[in-house]
Amino acid sequence: MAKYIISLDEGTTSCRTLIINHQGEIVASDALEFSQIFPKAGWVEHDAIEIWNSQRTTLVQSVNKAKISVEEIVGIGITNQRETVVMWDRQSGLPIYNAIVWQDRRTADYCDELIKAGKKEMIREKTGLIINPYFSASKIKWILDNVEGARTLAANNNLMFGTIDTWLIYRLTGGEVHITDSTNASRTMLFNIHTQTWDEELLALFDIPKNILPMVKSSSEVYGSTFPGLLSKKTEIRIPIASAIGDQQAALFGQLCLEPGEVKNTYGTGCFILMNTGETPVKSSNGLLTTIALDYNNKITYALEGSVFVAGAAIQWLRDALKIIYHASETDWYTSLVNDDQQVYVVPSFTGLGSPYWDSYSRGAIFGLERGTRREHLVKATLESLAYQSYDVIMAMAEDLQQAIKTIKVDGGASRNNYLMQFQTDISQVEVVRPKNIETTAMGAAFLAGLALNFWASIDDIKDILIVDKKYQPKLDQIIVKKLLKGWKVSVARTFNWLKDIA
């Protein structure tokens, strides 16, 4: 009988399910987009019930498409959008408010107050994070303070909090299991990454009762099993759920960045660059986050992380707002139409700048326009902005570590773009390596579930699965690179504090 691992990949815009065989091949998959809810400027919500329904539908659909029997499923692994907050009633199992998404900025003023109150260092020290609405704590507090009855529910021990992994596991187990893993916990701003415990001082600061929090587990172990009847009429069939890991950490593992110094960059809606720093949490002096990369085999691995908020989203902006391209992949071809050396720059700081600048007040800008600037210059400059923004993070990492980065392993939708990958390697002077299967996030969760269930005996077993598609080496003249980078530095700096300056 063939055996399979199922990976549930719950992202910011869609739920996906992949069915993976022992050779690491995807035998079937299914995906469903879900609603993005924008109740006010800067607010972003998801309907947690819709997420559960979509995830469940893609699970059932993919099993159906794969034409496998439920007995052949060894276990389920989960990877998810991080930081997003779901709060639900312990009695009914129903959410008391929409999920507040990581992108949501409603708690910006409160976060500013925390900074003014001098909490930056304490929070940094304990959690490795920078005070920002991005993380869960201020969103949990917002729900407790603003949703009627929330605090009473909590006082009666009837309120539960979870990130999306927690919510899906709760639902998949029929409400039996309330857990998260260390990687997801490390993004809440309530978890001490050194002691690996929920932190009493932070809970008091954010006024969050401890009884709503999930238990924190490793990223690879059996947490529980699916409720009877989820996938089969035979009620004795219950499938073990054996991994949970935040999406970016899953990609780091899926790319097999297992040794200190190994780096991956995911070019999706945003860019997320993570470096494995081994068993030592490295504190950044350059605006990067310190986070838990993995909790596996009784060992915590740490990472340095830099996030670029708008990357592939800038390509979507070319397509959907400016309407100057039809499809994201056309951008590669457009770059070949530029045969002059006009230095046009697009800084797509539509929602402010993430690492290493952390400037919420920056806004997007185009620089270097001339009478001869054409559509293709804009397309090329926008595409290059993904590489420049990633370059800034890579340099910040190299500075924190006091050593050059030699290789970046890449994945995500925009990593298919050959021009972008070559440009990235040229300006950063690092080798760029793209695997054949760029589904590294889903693969990371599948690997961890498979390891917990002895589907794969050891990490060595999975090393053969990851096949390299292409390696890019720097070719561009260093004098040109210097000139290009100078232009970028000046451009990005001119966008700083924009909203404050025009206020």
For the bound state, the minimum distance from the C-beta of residue 411 to ligand ADP, rounded and expressed in Å, comes to: 8
Question: DSSP code of 495?
Answer: T
* Number of residues engaging ligand ADP in binding (CB under 6 A): 16
Token couple for 457: 């005996």
Pairing between β-strand 365-367 and β-strand 345-347 as defined by DSSP bridges: antiparallel
**Contact assessment for residue 306 and residue 428, using Cβ atoms and an 8 Å cutoff:** no
Using CB under 6 A as the binding rule, the residues of this chain from 306 to 325 that contact ligand ADP are 312-313, 315-316
Pairing between β-strand 215-217 and β-strand 299-308 as defined by DSSP bridges: unpaired
3-state secondary structure of 301: strand
**Contact assessment for residue 104 and residue 44, using Cβ atoms and an 8 Å cutoff:** yes
Using CB under 6 A as the binding rule, the residues of this chain from 361 to 420 that contact ligand ADP are 412-414, 416-417
3-state secondary structure of 266: strand
Binding track, positions 70-109, relative to ligand ADP; x by CB under 6 A? ----------------------------------------
Please, which residue, 20 or 420, has the CB nearer to ligand ADP? 420
Give the DSSP H or E segment for 419.
Answer: helix 418-428
For the bound state, the minimum distance from the C-beta of residue 308 to ligand ADP, rounded and expressed in Å, comes to: 12
Q: Closest Cα to residue 180, out of 142, 212, 209?
A: 212
Q: Does 329 participate in binding ligand ADP (rule CB under 6 A)?
A: yes
Q: Does 13 participate in binding ligand ADP (rule CB under 6 A)?
A: yes
Q: Does 437 participate in binding ligand ADP (rule CB under 6 A)?
A: no
Binding track, positions 231-270, relative to ligand ADP; x by CB under 6 A? -------------------------------------xx-
285 is in an annotated binding site: no
State residue 291 phi and psi, 5-degree precision: -145, 165
3-state secondary structure of 40: coil
Exposed (0-12), middle (13-18) or buried (19+): which is 181, by Cβ within 10 Å? buried
12 is in an annotated binding site: yes
Name, in order, each residue with C-beta under 8 angstroms of 400's C-beta and a sequence gap of 6 or more: 282, 283, 284, 285, 286, 288, 304
247 is in an annotated binding site: yes
For the bound state, the minimum distance from the C-beta of residue 312 to ligand ADP, rounded and expressed in Å, comes to: 2
Please, which residue, 31 or 70, has the CB nearer to ligand ADP? 31
Token couple for 383: 């595409």
For the bound state, the minimum distance from the C-beta of residue 389 to ligand ADP, rounded and expressed in Å, comes to: 13
What is d(CA 466, CA 440) in angstroms, rounded to the nearest whole number? Answer: 9
Q: Please name the residue that has the structure tokens 């690996």.
A: 196
**Contact assessment for residue 284 and residue 400, using Cβ atoms and an 8 Å cutoff:** yes
90 is in an annotated binding site: no
Token couple for 219: 């990223």
Please, which residue, 330 or 431, has the CB nearer to ligand ADP? 330
Report CA Rg, the chain.
22
For the bound state, the minimum distance from the C-beta of residue 461 to ligand ADP, rounded and expressed in Å, comes to: 27
460 is in an annotated binding site: no
Q: Does 26 participate in binding ligand ADP (rule CB under 6 A)?
A: no
For the bound state, the minimum distance from the C-beta of residue 292 to ligand ADP, rounded and expressed in Å, comes to: 21
Please, which residue, 21 or 316, has the CB nearer to ligand ADP? 316
Please, which residue, 331 or 422, has the CB nearer to ligand ADP? 331
Q: Does 11 participate in binding ligand ADP (rule CB under 6 A)?
A: yes
57 is in an annotated binding site: no
For the bound state, the minimum distance from the C-beta of residue 333 to ligand ADP, rounded and expressed in Å, comes to: 10
Provide the phi-psi class of 157: left if phi over 0, else alpha when psi is between -120 and 50, else beta: left
- Signed CA dihedral, 83, 165, 283, 311: sign only: negative
For the bound state, the minimum distance from the C-beta of residue 101 to ligand ADP, rounded and expressed in Å, comes to: 13
For the bound state, the minimum distance from the C-beta of residue 400 to ligand ADP, rounded and expressed in Å, comes to: 25
Closest residue to ligand ADP, based on beta-carbon distance = 413
Token couple for 367: 């620089």
312 is in an annotated binding site: yes
What residues are designated binding site?
Answer: 12-14, 16, 82-83, 134, 247-248, 269, 312, 316, 413, 417
What residues are designated binding site for sn-glycerol 3-phosphate?
Answer: 12, 82-83, 134, 247
What residues are designated binding site for glycerol?
Answer: 82-83, 134, 247-248
Which parts of this chain interact with ligand ADP (CB under 6 A)?
A: 11, 13, 268-269, 312-313, 315-316, 328-329, 331, 412-414, 416-417
